[in-house]
Amino acid sequence: MQETHVGIIMGSQSDWSTMKEAALMLDDLGVGYEARIVSAHRTPDRLWDYGKSAVSRGLKVIIAGAGGAAHLPGMMASKTRLPVIGVPVQTRALSGVDSLYSIVQMPRGFPVATMAIGSAGAANAGLMAAGILALQDPALAQRLDAWRAALSASIPEEPQDD
Ligand code: RP5
């Protein structure tokens, strides 16, 4: 059975359609993960417990997605020394710029590796987590190299008419 090395957390059920992109990427690359709803505002005790136990439970990277006043990635980074990759979820009111600004402007000492807004950011978060784990996992490094090569090979040299 795959060990669970990545924690995918999100502020709400409504974030899952975005954060699923990270999960699908990890599925493709054969990386074990768990997905949990952990809200900085609605379930602060859950956030606290998750951050406190992350290292001892064997997690190595946390991907945290949230929208709007997106405090989850930063709060998680303040609670664990594990690398935290932040995904700004696209909001309706401000198109995710609010999420991006909330996540990216961390004070010195508590970094969050902030991805692009929305599903591309979530997919890249999966790739980033895999890249971190691949530093210590040669088989995963090979799978990641193969994934990247396949993506490159799929890009045609010349544009086609629609
Ligand atoms: C944030 O508020 C969540 O991360 C979500 O992106 C946003 C809206 O949440 P819901 O009202 O859809 O539950 O905490």
Question: Which domains does the chain carry?
Answer: 6-139 (3.40.50.1970)
Q: What is the biggest distance separating any 2 CA atoms in the chain, rounded to whole angstroms?
A: 54
Nearest of 97, 96, 98, 106 to residue 76 by alpha carbon: 106
In this prediction, residue 102 carries a pLDDT of 98
Mind listing the pLDDT tens digit for each residue in 114-155?
999 999 999 999 999 999 999 999 999 999 999 999 999 999
Q: What is the ipTM of this complex?
A: 0.96
Decide: 106 and 77 in contact? Cβ < 8 Å: yes
Binding-site annotation: residue ranges:
12, 15, 42
Percent of the chain beyond pLDDT 90? 98
H-helix or E-strand containing 92? none
Nearest of 54, 67, 137, 135 to residue 100 by alpha carbon: 67
Is the beta carbon of 14 within 6 A of some atom in ligand 1?
Answer: yes
Distance CA(24)–CA(34), nearest Å, equals: 12
Is the beta carbon of 67 within 6 A of some atom in ligand 1?
Answer: yes
Nearest of 61, 79, 55, 54 to residue 115 by alpha carbon: 61
In this prediction, residue 106 carries a pLDDT of 96
Is the beta carbon of 11 within 6 A of some atom in ligand 1?
Answer: yes
